[in-house]
Amino acid sequence: MRINKKERQALLTSTIKENPFITDEELAEKFSVSVQTIRLDRLELSIPELRERIKHVAEKRFEDEVRSLPIDEVIGEIIDIELDRTAISILDIKEEHVFKRNNIARGHHLFAQANSLAVALINDELALTAKANIQFTRSVKRNERVIAKAKVVSIDSDSGRTIVEVSSFVNNELVFKGEFDMYRSHNNSIKDENQHEDSN
């Protein structure tokens, strides 16, 4: 049953607030209207293309904060990051990411998204992956959006190792998880400063 325009626009506003990662295509499917109708609704409601706005803010933070690698070396788009704590990135699965015979994403793209997010999260100019324990929990298909969430679970300043857990989701369904053992340099004064502040 289709709803009227006023009700649809009200639901559209609340849906975008709840899930800023949602695409116009997903909204069109949700409300049984065309993508063009969704775009017109957003224009009338003065709602910008949220992903572009989030991307702009995230890129600014990335350039100011991330020390371990340049933004063009990250697989996916980082949309939130707090060094040595948490980070989130998104990766839209396109034709170049999938096997042609079945439109299923190649696993190394999901791994690369998670691994580069783990590297970016480390507050150190020298951050390398020492080892990784990973698991793919379901296949990801073309046109799906993968949201990877990383968090630091431990930092050992003596060994220069940091453990980062990354979980990747499509529509809140877990598709990949990994534990990354990250190497960092021992003489990181900023890291030591942060740890000192955390202990106070």
For residue 19, what pLDDT band results from cuts at 50, 70 and 90? confident
Report residue 28 as tokens. 């069109």
The predicted pLDDT at position 67 comes to 55
Query: pLDDT value at position 52?
Result: 67
CATH numbers and ranges of domains, the chain: 5-47 (1.10.10.10), 52-199 (3.10.129.10)
pLDDT at site 25: 87
Helices 24-31, 35-44: axis angle to 10 degrees equals 100
The rounded mean pLDDT for the chain is: 83
